[in-house]
Amino acid sequence: MHNALLVVDGTQYSNWNRQIFEEMRAGGVAAVNATIVYWENARETLSRIAEWNSLYERHSDLVMPARTMDDIARAKAAGKIAILYGLQNCSPIEDDIGLVEVFRDLGVRTMQLTYNNQSLLATGCYESSDSGVTRFGRVVIKEMNRVGMIVDMSHSAERSTLEAIEISGQPIVISHANPSFFHEAKRNKSDHVLRALAARGGLVGFSLYPFHLKNGSRCTQGEFTDMVARTVDLVGIDHVGIGSDLCQGQPYSVLEWMRNGRWSKETDFGEGSANHAAWPEPVSWFRSSADFPNLTAALEHAGFAEADIAKIMGGNWIRILRDAESSRYAAAPETCEAQRSAAAMS
């Protein structure tokens, strides 16, 4: 069953290399939304995209850019992985709304309005006061809708998330987080947020990152699938997916960059505890992308129907990404028809 699925991982930030790509292929992954930014500015983000161009050149038998959503099925048929880009912060657009379209043209499909802290657009989940979406944030959301870039509120505070859901004319995502009822964590989401998200057509991607799981690294497959089932009962089967949040092979210096960026001279331990001063031990049944079949098997064992498993493992992600792509083409039919044709020939 797993081999027939179009598996989409809504978030990874791994230390990309051939071994990781081979693990993704072994795990039947058709596409991944690859994080390219945490605190990078516009120029640095261009360098991250250039690094991916180099990876495509060196590993063309394993990975390819997803220039259109049709490339995911093409990648699957060719035994490759389609790569989509995601920004975990709004730092690349700096204070220039025109850069939203620039980065969408370069393949960015999702952008978080915040990464833990207050940003120019909204409030992060680690701030003590949530002032909501800013004036700049409101116009950026509308511009993201126009160009077909999906709003991501994974690291945002509650009021900001609810306001973004309301402001956006297109469904938004929480690409990698879990419900608060499963485990209380700053980044996990309340029932109120999840219901609002689903009511506007959005999606939550379940995270396998241990700090967001009940019992952390000791979380069992049964506990995870119970969480999935309860969330489906809450929001419906069409609004859930996987956003593993895998960070394979990354050194501690990268963890420091994720937490501290350039904004703090002090060490930020992420979840507020010295116990979180290092990468957590992964759950035993999901250590790498090669373990994606374990998720399918666990969902099957939990009693999910095949059609529902297909939605969870990638179908819902494909739908919401395709809808965003279609809205981009609808915004300017002549221009976008040329873009479609160019993508088809590339």
Q: Tokens 């297109």 sit at which residue?
A: 170
> String of b and e for 79-109 (b: at least 16 CB within 10 Å)?
ebbbbbbbbbbbbbbeeeeebbbbbbeebbb
- Mean pLDDT value of segment 34-60: 98
Average pLDDT on 66-83 reads 97
Radius of gyration of the chain (CA): 19
Cα 101 from Cα 174, distance rounded (Å)? 21
- Give the lowest-confidence range in 36-40, 198-202, 251-255, 288-292: 251-255
CA atoms within 13 A on the CB side of 110: 35
Q: Which residue has the higher pLDDT, 254 or 50?
A: 50
Token pair listed for 105: 């043209």
What's the CA gap between 279 and 222, in Å, rounded?
A: 24
Beta-strand relationship, 63-65 and 240-242: unpaired
**pLDDT at position 262:** 93
Fold of the domain built from segment(s) 2-345:
TIM Barrel (3.20.20)
Distance CA 189, CA 203 (A): 12
* Residues near 207 by beta carbon (within 8 Å), at least 6 away in sequence: 11, 176, 177, 178, 213, 243, 244, 245
26-40, 241-255, 322-336: range with lowest mean pLDDT: 322-336
pLDDT of residue 330: 77
Which residues lie below 8 Å from residue 241, measured CB to CB, with a gap of 6+? 8, 10, 203, 204, 205, 206, 311, 312, 313, 314, 316, 317
Q: Please tell me the distance from the alpha carbon of residue 257 to that of residue 295, in angstroms, as a whole number.
A: 30
At residue 272, the pLDDT reads 45
Contact criterion met (CB below 8 Å) for 150 and 173: yes
Give the H/E segment covering residue 86: strand 81-87
Task: Give percent of the chain above pLDDT 70.
Answer: 93
Contact 229, 182 (CB under 8 A): no
Say if strands 63-65 and 7-12 run parallel, antiparallel, or are unpaired: unpaired
Tell me the average pLDDT across 307-334.
Answer: 89
In single-letter form, the type of residue at position 39 comes to: W
pLDDT for the residue 270: 59
Q: Give the chain's mean pLDDT.
A: 93
pLDDT higher than 50, residue 26: yes
Rounded Cα distance between 72 and 8, Å, is 9
As a whole number, mean pLDDT of residues 130-155 equals: 98
In the predicted structure, residue 274 carries a pLDDT above the cut 70: no
- Region 209-223 average pLDDT: 96
* Average of per-residue pLDDT across 106-115: 98
pLDDT at residue 329 in the model? 75
- Whole-structure pTM over 0.75, yes or no? yes
With 80 as the cut, is the pLDDT of residue 335 above it? no
- Is the pLDDT confidence value at 106 over 80? yes
Q: What are phi and psi of 10, to 5 degrees?
A: -75, -10
Q: Where do the structural domains in the chain lie, given as residue ranges?
A: 2-345
- For 147-195, write each residue's pLDDT tens digit: 999 999 999 999 999 999 999 999 999 999 999 999 999 999 999 999 9
CA distances from 339 to 65, 80, 148, 289 (A): 15, 23, 13, 32
Confidence at residue 188, expressed as pLDDT on a 0 to 100 scale: 97
The larger pLDDT score, comparing residue 208 to residue 279, is at 208
CA-to-CA distance for 41 and 89, rounded, in angstroms? 10
Q: Round to whole Å and give the CA distance between 316 and 173.
A: 11
The secondary structure of 41-96 as a DSSP string is -HHHHHHHHHHHHHHHHHTTTTEEE-SSTHHHHHHHHHT-EEEEEEESSSGGGTT-
Q: In the predicted model, is pLDDT for residue 275 greater than 70?
A: no
Is the separation of the CB atoms in 36 and 49 below 8 Å?
Answer: yes
What is the C-alpha end-to-end distance of the chain, expressed in Å? 31
Q: Binning pLDDT at 50, 70 and 90, where does residue 340 land?
A: low
More confident residue, 92 or 265: 92
Choose between 113 and 273: higher pLDDT.
113
Give the pLDDT of residue 207.
Answer: 98
pLDDT at 242 over 70: yes
The number of beta carbons lying within 10 Å of the beta carbon of residue 274 is 8
